[in-house]
Amino acid sequence: MTIRIYNSLTREKEDFAPINPGKVLFYNCGPTVYGEFHIGNARNFVVFDVVRRWLVASGYSVQYVQNITDVDDKIIRRAAEEGTTPEAIAKKYTMYFLAKLRQLGNMPATAHPKATEYIPAIVKMVESLVNRGHAYASADGSVWFDVGSFPEYGKLSRMPLDQMQQGERVGEEQQKLKRSPMDFSLWKAAKPGEPAWKSPWGDGRPGWHIECSCMAMGALAAETIDIHGGGVDLRFPHHENEIAQSECATGKPFARYWMHNGMLDIDGEKMAKSAGNYKTLDGVLEMVDALTLRYFLISGKYRDKLDFTEDSLHKCKSAVERLVNASHEARRVLLGVTADDAWKREKDLMALREEYEEAMNDDFNTPRALAVLSKLVTLINTIRTEVQNGAPVMRLARATGLLGDIRAELGLTDDLEAPVDDFDAETTDRMRSLLFQEVPAPLRPTNPGGAPEIIKLLIKVRASAREEKNFGLGDRVRDGLLQLGVSLEDKPGQTIWKRFR
């Protein structure tokens, strides 16, 4: 089936056809590295990782570039606040950004170009725009893009003129330097104590918009790319300005498909520090594991708003626990058995796969894809029961293989699950105390080891207590572990423990 993408430029779903058959040039706007990022930023990074994964799963070779803006007013201000250099701030938070991408389960980008690596290309592009009559220098050595020189300006955002004028607000002194309120900065004249590079107009640094044009075309080695992604908040002025300067410089379309993810609200309200509802990624990851968070971030259509609520997070947590339990239990029953020809020999599995592919090909409809995943989990649990009652094992192996394929394509992989042994020292000590309280002194282990070993010993204590009909002791062990984030599930012949948050 053909992949259909909603193109923000045309406001229509279109069949996807890359410039070069089989190859995709994909650029997604990355962060300005000056601090921790919030849960809305995380949505953008995860959404476009899933888009990229599906393109790869569909047989495309994808060059995926995600830039890093490492020179900016916000970085300069943060450096002043911390008493350090802008370079140090940019380096610190670039490492933070890359670490968080790994924590969210994102595939490594083909490239993470930095703005400061593209200064010569930026100067060259600004020169070209000046020479073509699309830009002009002001008296202070800044260079501005002449919006009036590009008749198609506004074709992406389609905003009324008065709203566009409000979007390009700068200081009063800078407004005096521009020919029109709509004109935007390509090159900023140097200020004392700020990073600066040499240019034909004097020392200075690039404007925000010009950086992305040069990094996209430079890192992807093309003047026209296939897909440009970003948050809907970047559509104007950032992406609108990228189009104007790029197409005036090259005379060619800049990007063929524009994709924008919707904003993330908190309990129905816009997230803002002033509103007291600002959620950092690190703060949310203290509430839930990375697998649950990733599941939540793709639980809505990427173009729509997504509302972060306690109820929505709880539902995603329950869905993930069900998914993980089905995966683990099926693997335990299979004991190393692998499918002989994946899932293609089973009609009901093939039907589920086709339903999943139809969802993903329809503008990456992850809510529908997750619904198919839930159906598959139900089927796997049914097949596992049949296998335990004597049915052939191969059907379970094939279903589990399909589950693994879909999880990988969505990035909902095992490595995002909460590690079973990452209990902190305080929790481990409390487990050890619980063990020692319930085991008579002569039978106490001298060195019970870490948390997983202690839990296993407590399960043995509970089993012995129940055999002796000492149900009070068994309940104390169970309830004590529950308070420490561990649940026990009794199965035929064994007790399984699971960690929850």
278-324 pLDDT tens trace: 999 999 988 889 999 999 999 999 999 999 999 999 999 999 999 99
pTM comes to 0.84
Q: Cβ distance 219 to 193 under 8 Å?
A: no
Are residues 467 and 322 both part of a single domain? no
Tell me the CATH number at 37.
Answer: 3.40.50.620
Are residues 43 and 110 both part of a single domain? yes
- pLDDT, residue 501, reads 46
Domain finish residue from 372, 397, 416: 416
Are residues 112 and 233 both part of a single domain? yes
The answer to the question of residue 463 being in a domain is yes
Q: Cβ distance 286 to 501 under 8 Å?
A: no
Are residues 184 and 322 both part of a single domain? no
Give every residue of the chain whose pLDDT is below 50, as ranges.
501
- Residues contacting 426, CB < 8 A, separation 6+: none
The answer to the question of residue 300 being in a domain is no
pLDDT digits (tens, 9 = 90+) for 177-224: 899 989 999 999 999 999 999 999 999 999 999 999 999 999 999 999
Are residues 355 and 489 both part of a single domain? no
Cα–Cα dist 439/20, whole Å: 69
Helix (H) or strand (E) holding 132: none
Count of beta carbons in the 10 Å neighbourhood of residue 299: 16
Based on the structure, what is the number of domains in the chain? 3
The answer to the question of residue 302 being in a domain is no
Tell me the CATH number at 350.
Answer: 1.20.120.640
Domain finish residue from 416, 451, 485: 416
Are residues 442 and 376 both part of a single domain? no
Are residues 324 and 256 both part of a single domain? no
Domain finish residue from 416, 437, 454: 416
Are residues 245 and 266 both part of a single domain? yes
The answer to the question of residue 399 being in a domain is yes
CA nearest 370: which of 355, 380, 350, 388?
A: 355
What burial letters (b/e) apply to 455-483, b meaning 16+ CB within 10 Å? bebbbebbeebbeeeeeeebebbbebbee
- pLDDT, residue 342, reads 61
- pLDDT, residue 453, reads 84
Query: What residues are paired with 340 via a beta bridge?
Result: none
Q: Give the range of the structural domain holding residue 446, as residue numbers without chain letter.
A: 425-499
Terminal-to-terminal C-alpha distance of the chain: 40
Are residues 218 and 324 both part of a single domain? no
Are residues 61 and 198 both part of a single domain? yes
- pLDDT, residue 48, reads 98
Are residues 98 and 185 both part of a single domain? yes
- pLDDT, residue 168, reads 55
Are residues 363 and 433 both part of a single domain? no
Cα–Cα dist 371/259, whole Å: 23
The answer to the question of residue 283 being in a domain is no
Structure tokens, 224: 């026209």
310 burial (CB, 10 Å; 0-12 / 13-18 / 19+) is exposed
The answer to the question of residue 286 being in a domain is no
